[in-house]
Amino acid sequence: MHIMHVVGARPNFMKAAPVLTALARSPQVRQTLVHTGQHYDANMSDVFFQQLAMPAPDLNLEVGSGSHAQQTAEIMSRLEPVLIERKPDLLLVYGDVNSTMASAVVCAKLLVPVGHVEAGLRSRDRTMPEEINRLITDQLADLLFTPSPDGDENLVREGVAPEKIHLVGNVMIDTLVRLLPSCAAHKPPGLPERYALVTLHRPSNVDDLPWLGLLLRALAEVSDELKVVFPVHPRTRQRIAALGPGTLPSALCLMEPQPYLSFLALQKEATVVITDSGGIQEETSFLGVPCLTLRENTERPITITKGTNVLIGRDIALMQKEVGRVLRGEKKKAAAIPLWDGHAGERIAKIVQGCA
């Protein structure tokens, strides 16, 4: 059985690693790993492959950056001849990036079966490019692997046949569980004992420059009580620069984007995490670290109902209030989330092989 995996961005790598490992245990399975090159610099790609102990990609499509339409078109045109030549029995895609959706569309045209890992998540906000990618991919996929029961419910509501849906748990947590014991050695030096960890990258936060400036000033106010550590995404750094000189508060501790193990160490030791990321909502919930999400919605509601996540939106006063609660020891308690146990990749591998 020939299984092809397509990855394109850092979250994909973390999700694919446990599935690749689990399938590698079967001598009947041959695997091909295709990297679209959607993320292409060393910190965003190469180092992640090394730290996750993933095999080097068999192919790199070297798509690079561009508008959503340009990037999607490039992925489709470069992947199609690979599929025609290599003829996989199943193609596995991960998460909700452009590489995921583009690959699913190409496979649907070529009648190559598709499995979607992390299916069924919905923010119900179609202004998010990721939501469009999720909706399209899930309608085209033949196997849908969901991380939580809300994913199953969403898919059934959208008319997906129940026999295609498999609740397997969260593959990102597989990677976290495996690497958590080794992350302490990778903690960046010189950090304060207590700190708020901040990540920002979504257009809704970084492309609206007046709001971005207001948010940075609010984070500087947070730093009066709790140091703010801020690994800055390249795109976010460009938008901060567009604000003009002198607008970045000096109180914020800026650093370059961190490799997986370093960032995991930062999350584990943080007093609170302030983010607009999807995956970080999940990781902080598993780690029991308070998470304040700078979004009006989330495709991961289980991180609110069972995890440590609180939606903040654009409410600066609410952010300050929640930080104050954390500092007073009133942090939200997390419950164990079913199947977030480090074995989701193994469950996917068993289902895939059973469908052969």
Mean pLDDT along residues 247-269 = 92
Over the stretch 60-118, which tens digit does the pLDDT of each residue have? 999 988 899 999 999 999 999 999 999 999 999 999 999 999 999 999 999 999 999 99
* pLDDT at residue 46 is higher than 80: no
Distances, alpha carbon 180 to alpha carbons 108, 174, 273, in Å: 38, 10, 17
Position 40 confidence tier, pLDDT thresholds 50, 70, 90: low
Residue pair 141/115 in contact (Cβ under 8 Å)? The answer is yes
Q: What number of other Cβ atoms are within 10 A of residue 292's Cβ?
A: 23
Between strands 195-199 and 227-231, the pairing is parallel
- Angle of helix 10-24 relative to helix 344-354, nearest 10 degrees, comes to 60
pLDDT of residue 45: 63
Contacts made by residues 47-53, CB under 8 angstroms, sequence distance 24+: 47/259, 47/260, 48/10, 48/13, 48/14, 48/259, 48/260, 49/13, 51/179, 51/259, 51/260, 51/261, 52/13, 52/14, 52/17, 52/175, 52/179, 52/260, 53/17
The verdict on whether 35 is a catalytic residue reads: no
Closest listed residue to residue 275, CA positions, set 230, 305, 237, 329: 230
**Looking at residue 189, what is its pLDDT?**
93
- Section 240-245 average pLDDT: 90
- 244: pLDDT confidence band, cut at 50, 70 and 90? confident
Q: How many C-beta atoms surround the C-beta of residue 321 within 10 A? A: 13
Taken in order 207, 208, 210, 215, the sign of the CA dihedral is negative
Q: What residues does 172 pair with on adjacent strands?
A: none
pLDDT, residue 42, reads 52
Main-chain dihedrals φ then ψ at residue 261, nearest 5 degrees: -65, -40
Given the residues 116, 166, 186, 201, the one annotated as active site? 201
Domains of the chain: 2-180+340-354 (3.40.50.2000), 189-257+270-327 (3.40.50.2000)
pLDDT at 336: 93
Q: Say whether pLDDT at 44 is over 90.
A: no
Cα–Cα dist 56/59, whole Å: 9
pLDDT tens digits, 302-311: 999 999 999 9
Q: What is the pTM of this model?
A: 0.95
The whole-number pLDDT of residue 356 equals 65
The strand pairing partners of 354, in sequence order, are none
Could you tell me if 141 and 120 are in contact, meaning their C-beta atoms sit under 8 angstroms apart? no
